């Protein structure tokens, strides 16, 4: 049961963080810091 909960938590966490990161990149316009933070969030899926 613990393993299933951990997998569910990790999946939900990664999907939400990557989604928020992509939204931040798309809405960053000229703000470099906002875009960089979005890029860091979006690349968590790779690592």
Mean pLDDT taken over the chain: 89
The CB density around residue 3, as the number of other CB atoms within 10 Å, is 7
pLDDT of res. 8:
97
Domain layout of the chain by residue ranges: 2-45
- Cα(8)–Cα(12) distance, integer angstroms: 6
pLDDT of res. 9:
96
Contact assessment for residue 34 and residue 17, using Cβ atoms and an 8 Å cutoff: no
pTM of the predicted structure, to 2 decimals: 0.76
């Amino acid at each position: 049961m613990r393993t299933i909960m951990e997998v569910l938590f990790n999946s939900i966490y990664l999907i939400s963080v990557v989604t928020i990161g992509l939204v931040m990149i798309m809405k960053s316009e000229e703000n470099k810091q906002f875009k960089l933070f979005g890029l860091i969030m979006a690349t968590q899926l790779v690592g």
